[in-house]
Amino acid sequence: MSSFWSWFIIIITIANILACFWLIRWTAKPRPNEGAATDTTGHVWDEDLTEYNKPMPRWWLNLFYITIVFALVYLVLFPGLGNFDGVLGWSQVSAYEEEVQEARAEYSEVYEQYAQTPIPELAKNASAMATGQRIFANNCAVCHGSDARGATGFPNLADGAWLYGGSPDAIKQSILHGRKGVMPSFGAALGTRGVEEVAAYVYSLNGREAPRAFVEAGAAKYQQLCVSCHGQDGEGNTAIGAPDLTDDAWLYGGSLESIKNTLVNGRQGRMPAQQELLGEERVHVVSAYVYSLSAMEDGAQ
Ligand code: HEC
Ligand code: HEC
């Protein structure tokens, strides 16, 4: 704040307080009434209602004086008069920082303890999981859903099917460093008919019916173009996040239409790295939370 505005505020504030003081003194004095020798104000309402002309009661006036004293003491102690910081040195920023410091000291001990607990064990700690759930709700639910069951393009984290592996370590790596899935587009390489055939083959991989001629032609093309990433039998590859094509878990939907879409346009799923945002300790706790979701579901590791 420039010193002009600072003084502007100081002068207006002080002048207001002085004006209040004067106003109280002025109204406290009994006023000479207009002419008559009675002790009323001389105003008459409804023909015979008159009003006494008496000073305000002492206790009532004192309340006003107290507010003025309070204002003056407050303005000396706390910031309020322009650039003057108040003799206590209090500020919103320092108060906030103090609270943050206290909270840090309180939590860091807890987080330190969590950080030393292996994920499978931490996943059984109820209060750690309550913390993990809060971290998840604040940072992950926008993409993965508040129940962690995902949506199109955002993997379900509670179903036991994993793009990058469901071991405690793989989960933590996914969260710490993020992931980038790259499924190239094959529209040009396959042509319209080729897309129909390969899509039919992929569609049939988890046991669904598709036209036989298409499936056979598609299988041959799959062996040429897709095995390197999705594996001989479509089982996927967690090293590059290539999904298992034989199960019921679909990242982009399992309808013939969505499979064709994936083939024609490719897909680039991106999981943002959380190391910078959350810090290693929080990532550890939320990893245990994610781990607990599917470990509970199928009792597996
Ligand atoms: C370079 C490796 C690579 C090749 C080659 C590749 N894919 Fe993929 N594919 C991926 C990755 C990685 C994903 C996951 C993309 C993501 O995470 O966004 C994927 C996703 C898919 C999906 C979506 C699965 C789902 O759960 O929704 C289908 C279907 C698919 N690929 C089929 C194929 C077919 C058919 C071929 C051969 C024509 C093929 N892919 C070739 C790496 C590959
Ligand atoms: C901006 C959206 C977004 C946010 C925020 C996000 N994720 Fe993800 N996450 C993704 C996407 C997309 C993928 C899949 C990446 C791919 O297709 O290769 C993914 C993948 C993952 C995986 C790997 C899943 C597997 O099947 O291997 C884990 C674990 C995960 N996220 C956990 C989290 C956690 C925990 C948080 C919060 C700290 C989080 N994500 C925040 C979008 C997000």
Residues 63-107: tens digit of each pLDDT = 999 999 999 999 999 988 888 888 888 888 888 989 888 888 888
- How far from each other are the two terminal CA atoms of the chain, in whole angstroms? 60
* Predicted local distance difference test score (pLDDT) of residue 50: 83
Give distance in angstroms: CA of 146 to centre of ligand 1.
27
Rounded Cα–Cα distance for residues 293 and 160 (Å): 9
How far, in Å, are 44, 112, 184 from residue 97 at the CA level?
Answer: 62, 22, 49
Please work out whether the CB of residue 252 comes within 6 Å of at least one atom of ligand 2. Answer: no
Residue 120 and residue 168 in contact, taking contact as beta carbons nearer than 8 Å? yes
Give distance in angstroms: CA of 216 to centre of ligand 1.
19
Looking at the CA of 270, name the nearest ligand: 2
Pick the residue whose CA is nearest to atom 36 on ligand 2: 140
Pick the residue whose CA is nearest to atom 16 on ligand 2: 269
* Predicted local distance difference test score (pLDDT) of residue 38: 62
* Residue type at 219 in one-letter notation: A
* Average pLDDT over every residue of 244-262: 96
Please work out whether the CB of residue 163 comes within 6 Å of at least one atom of ligand 2. Answer: yes
* Predicted local distance difference test score (pLDDT) of residue 37: 55
Rounded Cα–Cα distance for residues 279 and 286 (Å): 11
Give distance in angstroms: CA of 245 to centre of ligand 2.
19
Ligand 1 nearest atom to the CA of residue 201, by list position: 35
Burial of 289 (0-12, 13-18, 19+ CB in 10 A): buried
Rounded Cα–Cα distance for residues 228 and 190 (Å): 16
Rounded Cα–Cα distance for residues 186 and 204 (Å): 19
Give distance in angstroms: CA of 299 to centre of ligand 2.
22
Rounded Cα–Cα distance for residues 155 and 250 (Å): 8
pLDDT of 176 higher than 80: yes
Rounded Cα–Cα distance for residues 280 and 292 (Å): 18
Q: Which residue has the higher pLDDT, 107 or 280?
A: 280
Scan for tokens 């992950």, then name that residue: 140
* Average pLDDT over every residue of 189-206: 96
> In this structure, what token pair is assigned to residue 6?
């600072």
Give distance in angstroms: CA of 33 to centre of ligand 2.
82
Confidence of residue 28 (pLDDT cuts 50, 70, 90): confident
- Residues of the chain above pLDDT 70, percent: 95
Pick the residue whose CA is nearest to atom 30 on ligand 2: 175
* Predicted local distance difference test score (pLDDT) of residue 296: 63
pLDDT of 30 higher than 80: no
